[in-house]
Amino acid sequence: MSSGVCSNCRRTIDAQARLCPFCGADPVSGERIDTQALLNEVFQPREVSTTESVIEYARHRQGIVIAIAGVIAFLILAGLHQFVTARNANAVSNSSAVPLTEVADLANRPDETKPQPMPSLKFQYEGRPQAMRTYIVESGAVAPAGPPAPAAATTTQAPTTTH
């Protein structure tokens, strides 16, 4: 960095500087320069609306904006909770409770916890449960041939002899 001297304030500054950082004058001539005009020439500012300035403010302070938004959301939820709680407290009747027996008479209804009696089932099994069969009848089905009829039981007696 080459050093130079400001002709206005006599301080040591950079030789390439267009303005003295201490007094704001031209380092060569020593006359004061309108720095705002120089900044406008270099940076070319544009018109900023109110909404853009608010958004820009929020961008620079994001943490604060998020914290404030969280507090506001919490307060809204707390207020909503208070409103619902107060409304429910007023919705309760001051009259005495009505027993359920007055609302619905359950005395005439059958007891649903008792097992129901089994209906009588009549199966044709010819006296032998081993011969009992179940058939599903479909339209157009032909009945299977039944089991052979039991043969007549013949009993033979052994001859008895007397001595």
- Which pLDDT band, with edges at 50, 70 and 90, does 149 fall under? low
- Residue 50 above 90 pLDDT? no
* Residue with more model confidence, 65 or 119: 65
Query: Is residue 98 situated within a structural domain?
Result: no
- Residue 72 above 90 pLDDT? yes
- Residue 155 above 60 pLDDT? no
Q: In whole angstroms, give the CA distance from residue 53 to residue 50.
A: 5
Helix (H) or strand (E) holding 12: strand 12-14
pLDDT in tens, 17-26: 888 888 888 8
The CA–CA distances, whole Å, from 28 to 9, 22, 23 equal 11, 14, 13
Give the rounded percent of residues in the chain with a pLDDT score beyond 90. Answer: 11
- Residue 118 above 60 pLDDT? yes
* Residue with more model confidence, 152 or 4: 4
Q: What angle do CA 27, 29, 31 make, to 5 degrees?
A: 90
62 and 32 inside one domain: no
Query: Is residue 97 situated within a structural domain?
Result: no
Q: Give which of 12, 8, 3, 2 is closest to 25, Cα–Cα.
A: 8
- Residue 48 above 90 pLDDT? no
Per-residue model confidence (pLDDT) at position 70: 95
Q: What is the mean pLDDT of the chain?
A: 75
Query: Is residue 69 situated within a structural domain?
Result: yes
Helix (H) or strand (E) holding 13: strand 12-14
Helix (H) or strand (E) holding 53: helix 50-60
Across 37-46, 82-91, 111-120, the highest mean pLDDT is recorded for: 82-91
What is the mean pLDDT of the segment spanning 148-156?
52
Per-residue model confidence (pLDDT) at position 120: 75
Please, are residues 33 and 22 in contact by the beta-carbon 8 Å criterion?
Answer: no
Per-residue model confidence (pLDDT) at position 53: 80
23 and 39 inside one domain: yes
- Number of domains observed in the structure of the chain: 2
Q: List the domain range (segments joined by +) for residue 29.
A: 3-43
Query: Is residue 21 situated within a structural domain?
Result: yes
